[in-house]
Amino acid sequence: MSKKTPLFKWHAGHGGNIVSFGDYQMPLWYEAGVKKEHLSAITSAGLFDTSHMAAVIVKGTGSFELLQRCFTRDLNACIGKEKSPIVSGRCVYGAFLNENGGVIDDAIIYQITPDEYIAVVNAGMGNVVAGHLDAHKEDASITITDLTDKLGKIDIQGPMSPKILSKILNNPETVFDNIAYFSFKGHFDSTSLQSQQVKLLDGTPVLLSRSGYTGEIGFEIFVLPESTLKVWEMLMDAGEAFGITPCGLASRDSLRSGAVLPLSHQDIGEWPYLNHPWEFALPQRDQENSFSKNFLGMDALLKIESPVFTLPFVGNDPRKVSTEHAVVMDDKGNKIGTILTCTTDMAIGKHNGRIYSIASPDKPEGFTPRGLSCGFLKTTIALNSGQSVVLKEGKRTIPVTIVSDIRPDRTARKKLNDFI
Amino acid sequence: MKEINELNLPDDVRYTKDHEWAKVTGDVVKAGLDDYAQDQLSDIVFVELPEPGDTFGKGEVFATVESVKAVSECYMPVGGEIIAVNSKLEDDPGLINTRPYEDGWLVEIKPDDLTEMDDLMDKATVLKVLEGNG
């Protein structure tokens, strides 16, 4: 089975190197090449077709309780430093776990109203997550709707994205007013009350979310399939003067790795969802044996006997290993783990032991990075930031360092006003 | 990716099945990756080259070329001693993508047996192989 997004013809007609990804025919990169695409999302703007992703609507009284029970994030304590409850117009990242504490899929949950939510999940996971929620609902009046292939999605990411987007919005000032990181406005469904909040110049309603998968400032735009190509072309036209670049899956992968964001079913998966860089997606752990809420999979997380650790790493140069064949070795040559993700962030380099990005305001003069390999390791022993390990694949041995962060000076969380 | 008819495959070099090219000038063989290989690999970000003086047999791995997508090994088109490497690639590995037969060459080889060149393919044969595969 091979599915196509509403933008497939555009990709194929614009030099997209098409590959199968999950069930979908997707561009891996375009004629510009991965490096330029990667850099564009850091220096100008990158445009990504993410229509292969799925969304599930959860609606009705009891929806909050269902999600609070099935989702790792504590929806009563997830917004801002003060950990306030989710409110309409905010979205949060977390995961759905099975009873063993393993990941079914990760998701961003959007609160449309206190009784209506959209869970945005990965390609091919719409029916899985919908089925999972349906099996765990206690209130028969809750409706769960899988929107797989019924929704288009375009991500615009990079420092120029607010300016580009403002060119196609009907009311950019109101839309950009008070739109914090991980908040959203509007709705793709014109029958929804919220659809009045965000309209494009031609009247197309969109759900506009200030989020993304690159670590850079930008938006995820949800739109009906029949309008997706039109919106993509509007953005390409409006973005031409700002250097917008269509980006494929390869640069999406290298950008998210450098931003320390996990790929579901690769960096998080069947194993217990604990001891990883994304523990903010779990409820607060007050004591060793309790979380601030009960949730599916919690009991298993509290009873782990042999823990595994997921750790970000960065190399000294762009050299990579394959995730299938390489192993992680300690300095004594003992195998201590495997590699989950290994890619090259082409925008970074090391200088006097410190990582700089092409976007770093204090980068050394004449800084032209060759890129650094980076990604995630899964080890059987805990390692601290700064510790060195070796990735070994056949004859190749690549020294890397455990880190807490990879690409510096990312823009995702910066003030939107500085980019308008 | 390029269509087969878009590939730049010069007539004056010979090709291996793994898409290295080799060109004889006097008694030296210059070698690199052909246009098909660089196109398949996409943006090349790193090259590990041998040291001058290293010797390898025909078909042995002499270099590793790393793209954003994959790590790829390069095989000696003919056996012999490495007498020069393209040090420009250290700072600008993308030359393999932009000028695979010119500034993007990998090594110069002093061949043990120049007649090994006869085992390599000419452009017409490479095209036939590619069309057969494609």
The domain A54-146 having CATH identifier 3.30.56.10: the answer here is: no
**Closest chain B C-alpha to A347 CA, distance in angstroms:** 11
Q: What is the ipTM of this complex?
A: 0.77
A346 → closest Cβ in B45, B64, B97: B45
B68 → closest Cβ in A321, A322, A344: A344
In the CATH hierarchy, which fold is given to the domain comprising A8-52+150-257? Gyrase A; domain 2 (3.30.1360)
CB within 8 Å of A264: residues ≥ 6 apart: A95, A103, A105, A106, A122, A125
A319 → closest Cβ in B1, B46, B68: B46
Residue A414 has pLDDT above 90, yes or no: yes
Distance CA(A169)–CA(A187), nearest Å, equals 14
DSSP letter string, A186-233: E-S-TTSGGGGT-BBTT--B-EEES--SSSSSEEEEEE-HHHHHHHHH
Binned at pLDDT 50, 70 and 90, residue A290 comes out as: confident
Distance CA(A243)–CA(A45), nearest Å, equals 7
pLDDT per position as a tens digit, B61-119: 999 999 987 889 999 999 999 999 999 999 899 999 999 999 999 999 999 999 999 99
Distance CA(A261)–CA(A239), nearest Å, equals 26
**Contact between residue A224 and residue A153 where contact means Cβ atoms under 8 Å apart:** no
CB within 8 Å of A299: residues ≥ 6 apart: A99, A101
**Contact between residue B94 and residue B126 where contact means Cβ atoms under 8 Å apart:** no
CA distances from A95 to A82, A272, A295 (A): 21, 12, 11
The CATH number of the structural domain formed by B16-115 is: 2.40.50.100
**Contact between residue A160 and residue A218 where contact means Cβ atoms under 8 Å apart:** no
Q: Taking CB atoms and an 8 Å cutoff, what residues of chain A touch B68?
A: 34-35, 38, 250, 254, 343-344, 346
CB within 8 Å of A280: residues ≥ 6 apart: none
Residue A1 has pLDDT above 80, yes or no: no
**Predicted pLDDT at B134:** 41
pLDDT per position as a tens digit, B64-75: 999 987 889 999
Distance CA(A287)–CA(A274), nearest Å, equals 15
Residue A187 has pLDDT above 80, yes or no: yes
Closest alpha carbon to A289 in A278, A271, A306, A303: A303
Closest alpha carbon to A345 in A245, A216, A197, A244: A216
Domain ranges of chain A: 8-52+150-257, 54-146
N-term to C-term CA, chain A: 43
B68 and A319 within 8 Å at the Cβ level: the answer is no
The structure tokens listed for A419 are 């980019």
Find the closest chain A residue to B90 by CA distance: A370
Q: Taking CB atoms and an 8 Å cutoff, what residues of chain A touch B43?
A: 33-36, 346
Torsion of CA A162, A165, A166, A167, to 10 degrees: 140
Binned at pLDDT 50, 70 and 90, residue A396 comes out as: confident
**Contact between residue A56 and residue A124 where contact means Cβ atoms under 8 Å apart:** no
pLDDT per position as a tens digit, A237-255: 999 999 999 999 999 999 9
**Residue A399 CB: number of other CB atoms within 10 A?**
13
**Residue A21 CB: number of other CB atoms within 10 A?**
15
Q: Taking CB atoms and an 8 Å cutoff, what residues of chain A touch B48?
A: 319
Find the closest chain B residue to A38 by CA distance: B68
B66 → closest Cβ in A28, A33, A318: A318
CA distances from A173 to A39, A122, A368 (A): 28, 32, 37
B94 and A35 within 8 Å at the Cβ level: the answer is yes
**Predicted pLDDT at B133:** 60
The 8-class DSSP code of residue A302 comes to: T
